[in-house]
Amino acid sequence: MPKNVDQESIVLCRSCDLAVQRRALPSNVRALCPRCHTALYDVPYCSINGMLALCITALLFFIPANFLPVLEIHFLGSIRATTVYETAIAVWAQGYWIVAVAVIASAVIAPGLLILSILLQIIIVKNKLHSYFWQRTYRRLLKNQALLTQLSMLEIYVISFLVAAFNLSDFADIYLGMGTFCFGMLFLVILFLQREYNLEHMWKLTHDE
Ligand SMILES: [Zn+2]
């Protein structure tokens, strides 16, 4: 192996252990092992413009998801609609303040920060902001990325209010509100965003002074 070959650019084939030099690929093309044709890697990862579109879409769903009613309960002629905040406040009032804090942190704050963090990273990369201040901000965002990803647990929230809706549906009419739809869409968009996002690749886009 020549000495100037970057260690990171070598991929080992999972099936036959052949060392293959990683090369830039056009999008939607998959690299195959030349010896046994096992798929090695594909590179639609981290398309900056794709992630920008996903971030903007996520922000568009984020606001209605949090401010529109997620559940509408029709019970004996009375109608109650609740938003995420009202749910958290009601849970807090019943004494389960840890649950309320967990709901707000994992369903509202963490996903919000996650979207804003990725958006800011994209803006820094796209506008080639190479000054010390922006590069320092960029590194800080990357260091906190894993924590934000772990804290965002929208899926648990989506599942829990669907379970609540089905349980209540025995004795009340339950309608899923526009907020539920936006929450579901937000969940899907963030899922795609996280699939597209590649932390290792984002680190390679840092610039040293
Ligand atoms: Zn192979």
* 19 Cα to the center of ligand 1, angstroms: 8
Name the most confidently modeled range: 31-35, 55-59, 140-144.
55-59
In whole angstroms, give the CA distance from residue 86 to residue 71: 11
Q: How confident is the model at residue 44 (pLDDT cuts 50, 70, 90)?
A: low
Q: What is the mean pLDDT of the chain?
A: 81
* 25 Cα to the center of ligand 1, angstroms: 18
* 10 Cα to the center of ligand 1, angstroms: 13
* 41 Cα to the center of ligand 1, angstroms: 12
Plot region of 131 (φ>0 → left; ψ -120 to 50 → alpha; else → beta): beta
Contact 180, 161 (CB under 8 A): yes
Q: How confident is the model at residue 207 (pLDDT cuts 50, 70, 90)?
A: confident
Q: How confident is the model at residue 27 (pLDDT cuts 50, 70, 90)?
A: low
Per-residue confidence (pLDDT) for residue 58, from 0 to 100:
93
Over 80: is that where the pLDDT of 73 sits? no
Q: Which residue has the higher pLDDT, 124 or 103?
A: 124
Residues 6+ apart with CB under 8 A from 121: 138, 141, 142, 202
Contact 185, 61 (CB under 8 A): yes
* 194 Cα to the center of ligand 1, angstroms: 28
* 22 Cα to the center of ligand 1, angstroms: 14
In whole angstroms, give the CA distance from residue 84 to residue 104: 8
